[in-house]
């Protein structure tokens, strides 16, 4: 592109692409600035698998119905009411028309993945996962004449009163700038900047793993907040889950999850248990364990199971550590052997009647007389070989973001910024004050990406 | 089999089994997800279920430069290619031809030479048309063994395959299930009906499926043409040559045309596709074999066209030489994949029945 585009979209994930496609269809000349190189384009969106969608009657891969009120109630439950209800309802209501829109723009769906039947009614799964969605959108965008620059990192937006006057970025080692008519920010949260995480959360955050892209470092977010653009969401909080401790620092994605906690005991590096492993079925507890592990010394936990539980959960990406005796397992995992022996012996002694054991239901098979108790699936760890996994805290996203209105527009003081819109993770704090509802991230990105694209194009035309 | 290929496929299969995002693309994933640990036989079966549509490569968030370096299409292609060599009877022939385009060309030239020699040495004085060049009995003497030997070889190969993957006794319902999914190449539609990713990175098209269908049906029509002619010769006492609207000619002409177009398109597609998503070391062998198959069709059509000219004896020797090479090479080249794939589909029907 030789001349200045009408619209610059910052970021190259789901929200950015939905905005770019919508704006291009309205006739605007759009440039996407994506900081990642092409093989890593698509941010966290490339790790996703579904989006949550309201519907009246069967829709695409979705069965039965999922009403606005039920959807909102589900959201209120996880956020504890920390939700802008008006924006939430907008996202929910619009999600229904998103599904056919996505199909028209190349996304393909499939029945819910095996092992996720509970989501068949509420969440539409992308065939091939989020990267295939991202690929399809890039194809569509390119057909619409959208230009894409990879390895183009936006460093600063120059504000002039209530408008963005200039976008500064680096590309191929050179500093560049553009002055488009409209700007859409869709560059995600700041979780990949572990220094920032450590400032917000405390030094323990240095030991966290980042489940998604290393490129969401919050550069644009910080730049805008520093200049007084309205913010939303708790700056100290992030969404985190417990994942395989051997996962890579970044981009481990979905495969690093571990589903074995309910059938295990979990100890810290001193071989002490610290929480009820059987509190609830795993998907519901998944997020809690991220925090629990973060609170342990060195931010690490160790899951111990025995042979009878090995096949009760989804296979893990790395094979478990295996040993014929607990002492050997302790050695292999770097745990104090005597302490582990004692913890396991106490736990085993506290196990009672197990005939009602049922791996997929709250079975009430509980311990008695130990703290913390294990309130379901409590079976003694006795049958060799023994298996172990280490657990670490894996950050999914951060809550701090740009505050937007129902047009996805940003504001400064009490005024709107006349040519700045935000979509996706970077404004999700407007709706998700805390907690997380599976599939809602992509809903927010799609709904507000399309709104931002439309508004930005209207402003530019 | 080569343990490093198997080990690499196992490593990747374990990652896929924890991910499962691709389960909607093809029958590899449901079969993969039915296991927790992958034996060599499991991997061989998965490899032969894969038809290299590449959907799972372009959709994968873990491809290089990510440290997981997923490239399932290649990992399975390597195992698959290796399994065909391993199961071939005689094994040495599998090793000689599967990956070696030059050896295939050489064998074809030898086929020409044999036929030219035969035409000269066994020249007849009696027969009409083609049989004036080479007597019917001489043709049978050359082609009957050339037809039966590959059949025997493939039967042995399939037996080895069946033992490796731990197949159960085959029932009719297994076969019909497998045939119906092969007949419309259901899996080549990519699960969503948009086709596969091949010649243009992550774009889904039907080009490869159509090319493949043209080749398969073209081949089957040509085969039917020869079979019908054989039956007419022996049962109805109606020896060649046949008229333009006779069954052998109609089948042969349409089959030959499809074969030429299909092979041409397939080569064009293969040259555009990313070779690193297949068994790279077998690329030359595959392309050359596709060329040979197309040439069988082309030389057959030329023979139809020039059947009454002075070129006929030469064209006949060339066509029959190519056919001879093709038959004899069938168990040792890409052609074998059709048989192993059918076996894999049958095995998959069995797995689904059992599970
Ligand atoms: C492992 C994992 C699984 C998930 N699964 C799901 C799921 O199934 N369903 C769901 O709804 N949500 C899921 N989420 C959450 C989901 O990923 C996010 O909500 C969603 O992807 C956000 O989209 P986005 O476009 O706002 O951000 P992203 O997709 O992260 O895109 C941000 C883009 O901005 C670019 N960028 C960053 N900084 C700059 C800069 N300075 N200059 C230029 N470009 C920049 C990045 O490179 C990236 O392309 C998952 C998250 C993770 C980590
Ligand atoms: S190929 Fe990649 S995306 Fe597909 S299932 Fe395997 S790991 Fe997951
Ligand atoms: S290449 Fe195609 S057929 Fe092979 S495993 Fe991947 S998606 Fe399945």
Q: List, as one string, the DSSP characters of A99-110.
A: HHHHHHTT--EE
pLDDT at A433: 86
Q: Looking at the domain that runs over A240-394, which CATH code has it been given?
A: 3.90.700.10
- Mutation pick from B11, B59, B197, B204 vs chain A, by most beta carbons of A within 10 Å, is B59
For residue A152, what are the β-bridge partners? A171
Strand runs labelled E in chain B: 196-197, 204-205
DSSP A52: E
Are residues B18 and A139, on separate chains, in Cβ contact within 8 Å?
no
Domain locations along chain A: 7-193+213-232+399-460, 240-394
- Is B21 strand, coil or helix? helix
| Cα distance between residue A188 and residue A445, in whole Å | 10
**pLDDT number for residue A33:** 98
Residue A416 has pLDDT above 60, yes or no: yes
- Give the other-Cβ count within 10 Å of A166's Cβ: 14
Instruction: Determine which residue's CA is closest to atom 7 belonging to ligand 2.
Output: B16
Domain segments of chain B: what residues?
A: 3-84, 88-354
- pLDDT at position A237 over 90: no
Give the chain B residue whose CA is nearest to the CA of A49.
B21
Residue to test with chain B: of A315, A319, A385, A442, most B Cβ within 10 A: A315
- Beta-bridge partner residues of A184: A9, A421
The answer to which of B250-259, B268-277, B300-309 has the lowest mean pLDDT is: B300-309
Half-sphere exposure of A214 (CA within 13 A, CB side): 10
Contact in structure between B161 and B87 (CB atoms under 8 Å): yes
Task: Flag whether residue B63 sits within 8 Å of chain A, measured between CB atoms.
Answer: yes
Residue B355: which pLDDT band, with cuts at 50, 70 and 90?
confident
CB A37 within 8 A of CB A211: no
For domain A7-193+213-232+399-460, give the CATH superfamily.
Answer: FAD/NAD(P)-binding domain (3.50.50.60)
Check whether A40 has a pLDDT greater than 60.
yes
pLDDT for residue A357 is more than 70: yes
Within A125-240, where are the H helices? 130-143, 194-201, 219-226
Nearest ligand, CA A123: 1
User: Greatest CA span in chain A, whole angstroms?
Assistant: 75
Q: What is the ipTM of this complex?
A: 0.95
pLDDT of residue B128: 74
More reliable by pLDDT, B351 or B241: B351
Which of A352, A88, A108, A388 lies closest to A246 in space, CA to CA? A388
The nearest CA of chain B is from the CA of A33 a distance in Å of: 20
Compute, in angstroms, the gap from residue B188 CA to the centroid of ligand 3: 9
| pLDDT classification of A435: cutoffs 50, 70, 90 | confident
Q: Enumerate the residues of chain B whose CB falls inside 8 A of the CB of residue A125.
A: 24
A355-368 residues labelled b (16+ CB within 10 A) or e (exposed): eebeeeeebebbbe
Q: How confident is the model at residue B123 (pLDDT cuts 50, 70, 90)?
A: low
What is the token pair recorded at A303?
């899951």
Residue with tokens 């039907």, as numbered in its chain: B206
CA torsion, points B150, B155, B156, B161, in degrees to nearest 10? 120
Average pLDDT, integer, range A431-442: 91
Give the model's confidence band at B124: pLDDT under 50 very low, under 70 low, under 90 confident, else very high: low
């Amino acid at each position: 592109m030789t001349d200045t585009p009408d619209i610059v979209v910052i970021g190259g994930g789901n929200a950015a692409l939905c905005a770019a496609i919508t704006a291009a269809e309205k006739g605007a000349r759009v440039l996407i600035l994506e900081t990642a190189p092409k093989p890593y384009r698509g941010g966290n969106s490339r790790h996703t698998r579904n989006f949550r969608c309201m519907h009246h009657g069967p829709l695409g891969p979705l069965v039965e119905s999922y009403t606005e009120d039920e959807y909102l109630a589900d959201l209120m439950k996880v956020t504890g009411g920390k939700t802008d209800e008006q924006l939430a309802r907008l996202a929910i209501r619009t999600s229904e028309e998103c599904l056919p829109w996505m199909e028209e723009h190349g996304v393909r769906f499939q029945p819910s993945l095996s092992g996720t039947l509970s989501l068949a009614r509420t969440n539409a799964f992308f065939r091939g996962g989020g990267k295939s969605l991202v690929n399809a959108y890039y194809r569509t965008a390119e057909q619409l004449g959208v230009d894409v620059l990879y390895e183009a990192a936006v460093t600063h937006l120059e504000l002039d009163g209530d408008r963005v006057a200039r976008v500064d970025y680096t590309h191929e080692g050179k500093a560049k700038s553009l002055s488009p008519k409209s700007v859409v920010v869709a560059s995600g949260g700041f979780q990949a900047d572990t220094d920032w995480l450590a400032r917000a959360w405390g030094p323990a955050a240095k030991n966290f793993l980042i489940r998604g892209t290393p490129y969401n470092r919050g550069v644009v977010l910080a730049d805008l907040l520093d200049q007084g653009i309205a913010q939303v969401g708790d700056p100290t909080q992030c969404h985190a889950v417990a994942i395989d401790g051997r996962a890579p620092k970044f981009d481990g994605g979905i495969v690093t999850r571990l589903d074995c906690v309910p059938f295990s005991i979990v100890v810290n590096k001193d071989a002490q248990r610290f929480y009820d492993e059987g509190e609830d079925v795993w998907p519901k507890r998944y997020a809690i364990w991220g925090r629990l592990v973060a609170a342990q010394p060195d931010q690490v936990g160790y899951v111990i199971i025995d042979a009878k539980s090995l096949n009760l959960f989804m296979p893990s990406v790395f094979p478990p550590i295996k040993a014929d005796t607990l002492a050997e397992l302790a050695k292999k995992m770097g745990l104090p052997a005597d302490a582990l022996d004692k913890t396991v012996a106490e736990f085993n002694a506290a196990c009672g009647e197990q005939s009602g054991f049922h791996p997929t239901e709250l079975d009430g098979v509980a311990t008695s007389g130990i703290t913390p108790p294990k309130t379901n699936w409590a079976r003694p760890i006795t049958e060799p070989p023994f298996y172990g996994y280490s657990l670490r805290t894996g950050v999914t996203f951060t809550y701090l973001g740009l505050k937007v209105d129902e047009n996805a527009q940003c504001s400064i003081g009490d005024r709107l910024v006349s040519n700045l819109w935000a979509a996706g993770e970077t404004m999700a704090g407007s709706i998700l004050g805390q907690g997380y509802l599976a599939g809602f991230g992509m809903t927010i990105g799609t709904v507000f990406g399309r709104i931002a694209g439309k508004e930005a194009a209207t402003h530019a035309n | 089999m080569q343990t490093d290929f198997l080990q690499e496929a196992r490593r990747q299969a374990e990652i896929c089994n924890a991910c499962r995002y691709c389960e909607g693309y093809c029958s590899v994933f449901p079969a993969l997800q039915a296991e927790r640990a992958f034996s060599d036989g499991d991997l061989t079966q998965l490899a032969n279920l894969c038809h290299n549509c590449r959907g799972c490569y372009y959709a994968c968030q873990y491809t290089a430069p990510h440290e997981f370096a997923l490239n399932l299409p290649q990992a399975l292609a390597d195992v698959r290619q290796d399994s065909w060599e391993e199961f071939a009877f005689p094994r040495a022939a599998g090793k000689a031809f599967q990956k070696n385009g030059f050896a295939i060309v050489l064998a074809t030239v030898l086929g020409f030479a044999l036929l030219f020699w035969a035409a000269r040495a066994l020249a007849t004085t009696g027969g009409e048309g083609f049989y004036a060049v080479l007597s019917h009995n001489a043709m049978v003497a050359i082609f009957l063994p050339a037809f039966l030997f590959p059949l025997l070889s493939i039967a042995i190969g399939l037996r080895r395959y069946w033992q490796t993957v731990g197949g159960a006794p085959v029932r009719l319902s297994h076969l019909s299930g497998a045939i119906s999914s092969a007949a419309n190449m259901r899996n080549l539609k990519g699960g969503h009906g948009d086709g596969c990713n091949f010649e243009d990175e992550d774009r889904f098209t039907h080009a490869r499926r159509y090319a493949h269908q043209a080749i398969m049906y073209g081949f089957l029509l040509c085969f039917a043409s020869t079979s019908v002619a054989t039956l007419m010769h022996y049962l109805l006492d109606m020896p060649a040559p046949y008229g333009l609207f006779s069954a052998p000619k109609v089948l042969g002409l349409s089959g030959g045309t499809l074969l030429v177009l299909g092979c041409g398109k397939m080569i064009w597609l293969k040259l555009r596709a990313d070779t690193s998503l297949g068994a790279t070391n077998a690329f030359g062998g595959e392309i050359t074999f596709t060329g040979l198959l197309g040439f069988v069709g082309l030389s057959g059509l030329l023979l139809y066209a020039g059947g009454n000219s002075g070129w006929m004896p030469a064209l006949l020797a060339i066509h029959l030489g190519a056919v001879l090479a093709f038959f004899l090479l069938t168990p040792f080249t890409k052609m074998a994949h059709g048989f192993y794939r059918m076996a894999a589909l049958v095995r998959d029907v069995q797995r689904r029945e059992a599970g």
